[in-house]
Amino acid sequence: MAAQPRPIHAEQTSYLEGGGIYGWLTTIDHKRIAVLYGVTAVFFMALGGFEAMAVRTQLMYPNNHFLSAQTYNQFFTTHGLTMIFLVIMPLETGFFGNFLIPLQIGARDVAFPRLNALSYWIFLFGAITLNLGWLYGGLPNGGWFGYANLTERYYSPGPNIDFFDLGLLVLGVSSVMSALNFFVTIINMRAPGMTFFRMPLFIWSILVTVILILLAFPSLTVGLIFLFMDRYFDTHYYRVIAGATPILWQHLFWIFGHPEVYIMILPAFGLISEVIPVFSGKPLFGYPMMVYAIIAIAFLSYGVWGHHMFATGMGPVADMTFSVTSLLIAIPTGIKIFNWLFTVWGGRLRFTTAYLFALAFVIQFTIGGLSGMMHASPPIDLEQTDSYIIVAHFHYVLGLGALFAILAGFYFYWPKVTGRMLSETLGKWHFWLAVWSFNATFFPMHFLGELGMPRRIYTYAPHMGWDFWNKWETWNAYIIALSFIPLLLNIYWSLTNGERATEDPWDARTLEWSVPTPPPIYNFAEVPTVTARDAFWVAKYGSVEASGLTQSAPAIAPALVDVSKIHIPAPSLYPLLMGLGIFGMALGMLIGWYRVIFTAMALLVFSAIAMAFEYPNWGEENPHAVAESFLGLDSRKVGMWSFIGSETVFFACLISTYMVYKSRSLGVYDAGILNIPLTSFSTFVLLTSSLLMVLALAAFQRDDHKWGTIWLIGTALFGCIFLGGQVYEFGDFWLEHGMVFNANLFSQCFYTLVGFHGFHVFIGVVWLLVMAFAGIFGKLNAKRSLAVEICGLYWHFVDIVWVVIFVLVYLMRTVKGA
Amino acid sequence: MSESAVEHVTAPAHHAAAESHHPTAVQYLVVAGILTVLTVCEIGVYYIPALQSVLVPLLLILSAGKFYLVAAYYMHLHFDSRIFSGLFFFPLTLAALILISLTLLLGFLAHHPGP
């Protein structure tokens, strides 16, 4: 089971070489994982594009029946889900993020390479889950936002919404894992001298994006869990008849959904900010303001979700608040647009394909942003909501915005990824066809919206004034599809006959262009020391402001180091097996076959334990995480704190729901049933377990292995007593009082909240027992005490969540809910 | 933030040293004692009829004290790098805002929409 660091062969110069198919399946190299994300996303882009073409063909003529209404609903829903979760996000963070983050910050890989591979496999299986409807039962059909209560089993009896629910849950796990990994990498693994304000803007954009993912996805997860319970356990989270409100889903969805818009657009900003300075021959104008603008946009993005809900009648106070915060976002966004323009202004412009796509992005995103401003005003929004103006708006932001930025990044980084140049002639054909067809398709949608055409409409009667523009848009949508033919030809031509790319074909500014093309598996033979922003440019020309003189070879001399000494973590099959386990569980849930669920769960647990002990020096694994740490902090500890931060939002959403639904609950059961004496005892038990945990840590830190192990076992034992109390309490409510899980809103919220906490305690007990066994077998000592400390952080977090639950749920049981 | 101002942060020893000053076993026991007293107070407040009118603020203050003690001493935020405090308290603030917003939007404002 133990794997040794992989030897590097002197002739192995490119990350693309060697390993065969098994090498790709077991890879944990960030560049190969980037390629896997890229290829997968391109496949789904073709699928999503096909769905879009079918939708447009259906709308080409009035009273058209090219698709059935049911198929139309499935196609427009899956087109949205595919483009958001399986194309734009994986291309921006999965492909560009994975490929560029270590190269731009001067690192050899991400902080947790195996977690990175696991993220990809979970993403792939989540994508498959979302698309299982192609094979059985039909695709998701409730819109990408899946509004309740149309998603309830009563209204959507087929498996369509189950694919939506479980697919997004699985994809969410992947996104959070990736985000955590990238966050730790950027915070902790920068090269010496790479201070925050020397980081390339793409790194800033990814840093802020992953913070958004970590703190926004838990809200969606909670909403999806409620939906899952409604559909599988007959609870009533979104059922009015039980006193619930379907608006809860909208809040939980849009608390995630609006930051999600920035999750898709901020990396696009980052890519553009890399491309524009290089081809303008100038450094990025107003770099610090660009950074502050990204941070401001992200911060404000959490306070604007209500502008998606003006039509629900939130009242003037809420409307005004969300309107003001939404309008405020225009300020930092405007700063960015002007700074890109000032970067272009007075520059020595080189109109490459990448640059053209970047410039088109600036113009088109501005158009999309301006129409977005209109929707920040409640009266205007009320007229435009659910009309084709909204379709025009978000396609300008994401299609003509994010996708154009991705294409700019594609043309810019293709030589670095593959080692081959693309044809500029074919690239420009692609660009002009794309600019024409995208604008010709989506701009007239503003007109259709003003003419009253609703979005998501299956077909329409003639003489509504919509015929011409629908026909026009459909023909131009076909040209969008055709516009990708030059791109495909270009890729083929490049891979077969393309000119070999040098390290720095564009005379670029940042570190990724200083390494060989394609990069070697270890990225940097010698970890660079950064002395300024635009580090590579400064190394070539002396200062950030200097004009590039030539397109000569890099001035940085290759380091004379023995690359065979560089530590490269060994490949691992376990991430793929764990991904399969998660997929099997989702699949088993969908087909209701419990044997599949338990087999998959066993595979997951086996793979997780095997992966934990895969490296011989576990507990000290990942040496570059410590040795090359920018801040001197252990990456695992930074990762655990990031995870705890994300979990905090998860529990906040659960507690909020409990607080809201407590007073709405109908039926006989309410908080009066709660057993305060028993729970007070449990609270003392859990608090005492936390004491034992810190005593265990203190013992291991002073190398007292015996007492450390005893305290660990004690902590686990107290955790078991707490769980026993919870089991007794649940059993008493269920069997003695008849308060089943879905009895009413109170019962389901109580069981869900306290049950999820109990599940966290259970995971903690398992973790503690594993640590205790490690202690018994002498694997824990002062040097490895950090492993105990990280386990302890999780345990204490579970403790403080209980501190909150004990007060809000139990001791305030007589206080009326919200 | 000037570039030179953040240069010194790159020294790994700075934070490594900060992490090494964890509390001793005796300090942990003192914290446990205070946590026990605070929990007893919480339960006492719940059972004393005269305090029912101030039940909510009292319980919130007591639980906030417990929360702080566990986070600061058991989770070492009081001793560790400030980065960890940021990683915890920023999401915590956001979580609190979400909790307040949702209870207002789905509770109070739903029943009192305003003029």
Same domain, yes or no, for A668 and A602? no
> Closest residue of A to B90, CA-based?
A645
Average confidence (pLDDT) over A417-422: 96
Amino acid A784: pLDDT: 85
Average confidence (pLDDT) over A694-716: 94
Amino acid A616: pLDDT: 62
- φ, ψ of residue A387 to 5 degrees: the values are -105, 175
Its domain, for residue A648, covers: 632-811
Judge whether B10 is closer than 8 Å to chain A, CB to CB.
yes
Same domain, yes or no, for A607 and A738? no
Amino acid B20: pLDDT: 54
> Closest residue of A to B40, CA-based?
A680
**A694 in any annotated domain:** yes
pLDDT in tens, B69-100: 999 999 999 999 899 999 999 999 999 999 99
pLDDT in tens, A379-394: 999 999 999 999 999 9
Same domain, yes or no, for A405 and A494? yes
| DSSP structure class, residue A5 | P
Determine the residue type at A789: E
CA distance A570 to A5: 5
For residues A198, A202, A203, A208, the Cα torsion angle rounded to the nearest 10 degrees is 120
Check if the interface score ipTM surpasses 0.85: yes
Nearest by CB to residue A196, choosing from B6, B25, B35, is B6
Same domain, yes or no, for A610 and A728? no
Asked whether the predicted pLDDT for residue A626 surpasses 50, the reply is: no
Select the residue from B74, B88, B97, B111 to test the A interface by mutation, using most A Cβ atoms within 10 A.
B74
Q: Give the number of residues written for chain B.
A: 115
Amino acid A817: pLDDT: 61
Amino acid B24: pLDDT: 84
Amino acid A568: pLDDT: 79
pLDDT in tens, A185-224: 999 999 999 999 999 999 999 999 999 999 999 999 999 9
Question: Residue B10 — pLDDT band, cuts 50, 70, 90?
Answer: very low
CA distance A319 to A578: 45
CA distance A575 to A122: 9
Q: Is A367 left (phi over 0), alpha (psi -120 to 50) or beta?
A: alpha
Contacts of A306 in chain B (CB under 8 A): 105
Question: Residue B15 — pLDDT band, cuts 50, 70, 90?
Answer: very low
- φ, ψ of residue A692 to 5 degrees: the values are -60, -35
Amino acid B47: pLDDT: 93
Question: Residue A548 — pLDDT band, cuts 50, 70, 90?
Answer: low
- Among A347, A207, A216, A328, which residue's Cα sits nearest to residue A269? A207
The region of weakest confidence among A186-195, A434-443, A582-591, B67-76 is A582-591
Q: What share of chain B is helix, strand, coil (3-state, %, to 5)?
A: 85, 0, 15
Asked whether the predicted pLDDT for residue A735 surpasses 90, the reply is: yes
Question: Residue B16 — pLDDT band, cuts 50, 70, 90?
Answer: very low
**A364 in any annotated domain:** yes
Amino acid A628: pLDDT: 54
CA distance A522 to A568: 7
Determine the residue type at A805: I
> Closest residue of A to B46, CA-based?
A811
pLDDT in tens, A154-183: 999 999 999 999 999 999 999 999 999 999
Q: Domain containing A749 — which CATH number?
A: 1.20.120.80
The region of weakest confidence among A598-607, A750-759, A776-785 is A776-785
| Mean pLDDT across chain B | 81
**A5 in any annotated domain:** no
Integer-rounded Cα radius of gyration of chain A: 27
CA distance A732 to A750: 14
Question: Residue A485 — pLDDT band, cuts 50, 70, 90?
Answer: very high
Question: Residue B111 — pLDDT band, cuts 50, 70, 90?
Answer: low
Contacts of B75 in chain A (CB under 8 A): 792-793, 796-797
> Closest residue of B to A626, CA-based?
B12
Amino acid A447: pLDDT: 96
Asked whether the predicted pLDDT for residue A102 surpasses 50, the reply is: yes
Asked whether the predicted pLDDT for residue A10 surpasses 50, the reply is: no
Amino acid A133: pLDDT: 92
Select the residue from B21, B69, B106 to test the A interface by mutation, using most A Cβ atoms within 10 A.
B106
Question: Residue B23 — pLDDT band, cuts 50, 70, 90?
Answer: confident
pLDDT in tens, A505-536: 999 999 999 999 999 999 998 889 999 999 99
Q: Count the domains in chain A.
A: 3
Same domain, yes or no, for A494 and A638? no
Determine the residue type at A144: W
Portion 25-84 of B in contact with A at CB < 8 A: 25, 28-29, 31-32, 35-36, 39, 42-43, 45-46, 55-56, 59-60, 62-63, 66-67, 70-71, 73-76, 81, 83-84
Same domain, yes or no, for A58 and A98? yes
Q: How many CB pairs under 8 A join A and B?
A: 197
Q: Cβ–Cβ of B105/A694 closer than 8 Å?
A: no
Average confidence (pLDDT) over A323-331: 94
The DSSP code sequence of A122-145 is: HHHHHHHHHTGGGTTT----STTT
Average confidence (pLDDT) over A337-362: 97
Amino acid A559: pLDDT: 56
Same domain, yes or no, for A208 and A289? yes
Nearest by CB to residue B59, choosing from A316, A695, A812, is A812
Active-site positions of A?
A: 79, 109, 144, 174-175, 258, 260, 262, 273, 307-308, 333, 336, 455
Asked whether the predicted pLDDT for residue A678 surpasses 50, the reply is: yes
| Mean pLDDT across chain A | 92
Residues 6+ apart with CB under 8 A from B21: B79
pLDDT in tens, B37-47: 999 999 999 99
Contact A408, A364 (CB under 8 A): no
- Among A36, A45, A214, which residue's Cα sits nearest to residue A116? A36
Half-sphere exposure of A205 (CA within 13 A, CB side): 25
Contacts of B24 in chain A (CB under 8 A): 698
Same domain, yes or no, for A586 and A649? no
Q: Cβ–Cβ of B70/A799 closer than 8 Å?
A: yes
**A24 in any annotated domain:** no
- φ, ψ of residue A500 to 5 degrees: the values are -70, 135
Select the residue from A634, A690, A813 to test the B interface by mutation, using most B Cβ atoms within 10 A.
A690
Six token digits for residue A692: 């034992």
Judge whether B13 is closer than 8 Å to chain A, CB to CB.
yes
| Domain coordinates in residue numbering, chain B | 3-80
Contacts of B30 in chain A (CB under 8 A): none
Q: Cβ–Cβ of B28/A694 closer than 8 Å?
A: yes
Same domain, yes or no, for A662 and A606? no
CA distance A612 to A770: 10
Contacts of B97 in chain A (CB under 8 A): 302
- Kindly tell me the burial class for residue A730, based on how many C-beta atoms sit within 10 Å of its own C-beta (0-12, 13-18, 19 or more): middle
**A211 in any annotated domain:** yes
Nearest by CB to residue B106, choosing from A215, A251, A631, is A251
